[in-house]
Amino acid sequence: MKHLLNHNSKSSRSTRRRAGFLSVELIFALPIFLLIGAALVEMGMLMQARGAVVDAARVGARHASYLGVDKHDVVEHTRKTLGPRLGYHADVVVEQGEQTGEPVIVAVRVPMGAAAPNLLWPFGFNTENEYLVAEVRMARE
């Protein structure tokens, strides 16, 4: 009977030690998991926004290539394509040729801060003064 009591008390002590060891492991591992999670979220949002900026530049260049369309219409059409979140912060530059066959250039620039939260600044990846940029050239129809 004594032997059983001693055995149980030893196992409870080792369980307590193991629980303390797991807490220390968690303290060291949790920041790494948070960094990986934040990187996945931020990079995913930036990649999605980059695709939207490229698509908006293509749509804007296609719209600008038609005869009878002025620059203001192209800028508004491009911003609508970006949606309200990105379109509000977008800088759209349009260069149109006058004759058929001349180049049409649409450049779209959106701050990265409008596309994704700046989650990784404590780790050295700051998006504060960075931009997503796309430029598309087409021939005027």
What is the pLDDT, as a whole number, of residue 19? 58
Model confidence at 97: pLDDT above 90: no
- Two structure tokens written together for 5: 């009591």
**Residues 78 and 92: beta-carbon distance below 8 Å:** yes
Which amino acid, residue 110? V
What is the pLDDT, as a whole number, of residue 12? 59
| Nearest-angstrom CA–CA distance, 30 and 45 | 23
The string of DSSP codes covering 54-117 is HHHHHHHHHHHTSTT--HHHHHHHHHHHHHHHHHTT-EEEEE--SSTTSEEEEEEEEEHHHHS-
Mean predicted lDDT score pLDDT of the chain? 88
Domain ranges of the chain: 2-139
Q: What is the mean pLDDT of residues 122-135?
A: 91
What is the pLDDT, as a whole number, of residue 18? 62
Q: Give the model's confidence band at 17: pLDDT under 50 very low, under 70 low, under 90 confident, else very high.
A: low
| Nearest-angstrom CA–CA distance, 118 and 95 | 32
